[in-house]
Amino acid sequence: MDPKLLEIVTREVVRQLDLQSSSGSFSGSTEPAQGCSAQGCSAQGCSAQGCSAQGCSAQGCSTTVACSTTPDLGAFKIGISNRHLHLSRDHMDTLFGPGSRLTVLKELIQPGQFAAVETVTAVGPKGCLKGLRVVGPLRDQTQIEIAQTDAIGLGIQAPIRVSGDLAGSAPCVLVGPRGSVLLDEGVIVAKRHVHLEPDRALRLGLKDRAQVKVAFDGDRGGLLDQFVVRIGSGHFSEIHLDTDEANALGVRNLQEVRILK
């Protein structure tokens, strides 16, 4: 075998093995644990990070022995939001045909949310965004979430807003396979935020709409403030920022970061 090809194949195999072993640690494996590496844990037989229990509740831990470590409440995973839009029933009818339904392409981490197969084109005075993906399910009001870079390309001034706060936001035209709509408002740059489950918010002492800082590691890492806390019983704890912010910080999806009050 050609030595270069052998090297490429070897690297790929190693990469795949690394992926398998790291995905195993996130998958809640119920293999019996051998010893405990959790900081401050005094139990034998527990290997889960953040183990807190007798009958440990940490993901991936199957031990039933007592453990004194409390979960690391400050650690969160990053979810990078690519540009997308949410559609109202009326606009879905216009763009994709009366009574049309969204088709699930991929379930998102936030419960009930999904990326749809359906896409539209957004048009502004200076340009257009093709393949803008619809995120379902349908909502009361159409909302387009783009990065600042996208807004410059479209030639519009999209305000930085919390989801749902659309009064006076930017206009655009949406074009679908069956029709188009002129939106007087609805385009925003989503304000960076933290989704929190109520019990975790309580333990962290955080209230809905509070603002926190997030520390990012890496070569372009740094400290960003003004993350809005959003608490809801249907939320999965996760930090959301957009592609401009993620690229500026050199972070990747699912990277673990810490929030600071």
Positions in the binding site for Zn ion (CB under 5 A)? 240
User: Minimum distance from CB of 193 to Zn ion (Å)?
Assistant: 6
Task: Give dist(CA 74, CA 194) in Å, integer.
Answer: 11
**Nearest residue (CB) to Zn ion, 91 versus 193:** 193
Task: Give dist(CA 74, CA 4) in Å, integer.
Answer: 45
Q: How far is CA 45 from the centre of its chain?
A: 33
Numbers of helices and strands, H then E, in the chain? 5, 14
Q: Return the number of other C-beta atoms located less than 10 Å from residue 221's C-beta.
A: 14
> What three-state secondary structure class fits 156?
coil
User: Minimum distance from CB of 252 to Zn ion (Å)?
Assistant: 17
Identity of residue 44: Q
**Nearest residue (CB) to Zn ion, 84 versus 240:** 240
**Nearest residue (CB) to Zn ion, 86 versus 240:** 240
Residue with nearest beta carbon to Zn ion: 240
**Nearest residue (CB) to Zn ion, 113 versus 121:** 113
Task: Give dist(CA 166, CA 158) in Å, integer.
Answer: 10
Spatial contact of 119 and 96, defined as CB atoms under 8 Å apart: no
Residues whose CB is less than 8 angstroms from the CB of residue 46 and which lie 6 or more positions away in sequence, other chains included: 33, 35, 36, 38, 56, 58, 61, 63, 65, 67
**Nearest residue (CB) to Zn ion, 78 versus 120:** 78
